[in-house]
Amino acid sequence: MERSGALASYERRITPEALGCPLTAFITARVDQRRLAEVFRALAGIAEVVEVFGLSGETDLLARVAATDTEDLYRIAGRILAVPGIERTTTFLAMRELVPHRLTPLLRRAVGEGWRTWCLLLGRPGWDRF
């Protein structure tokens, strides 16, 4: 399942809090579209940036960051804004996680749809024989 991509990184089992970063924030950014690849590479080089999503609409990306405190968050936001190609950022402090990352409901739905889904997830041909 790992080879097919159905199982992602095991890093999700470690919380940022356990690593001394109890503060979670989301930073949106507008990006010079000609420098998009350069921006994503630069963001991947910032340890506190734990996820980045490309977005449609007025905002180009959403970065989830982990910080030790508000001063640390200020420093991280400054590093992100200093990345060549980032034109503007907005920072949102997460007050509390209301629905934690979860896949169990999707897994239950997939199982309910039968073997076809499992075979596709596992990358096995011949799912139509079940």
pLDDT (tens digit per residue) in 12-66 = 678 899 999 999 999 999 999 999 999 999 999 999 999 999 999 999 999 999 9
Instruction: Tell whether pTM > 0.85.
Output: no
- Tell me: pLDDT of 8 over 70: no
Distance CA 56, CA 42 (A): 20
**Nearest residue to 59 via CA among 25, 92, 26, 31:** 31
Task: Give the length of the chain.
Answer: 130
Looking at the chain, the whole-number percentage of residues with pLDDT higher than 90 is 65
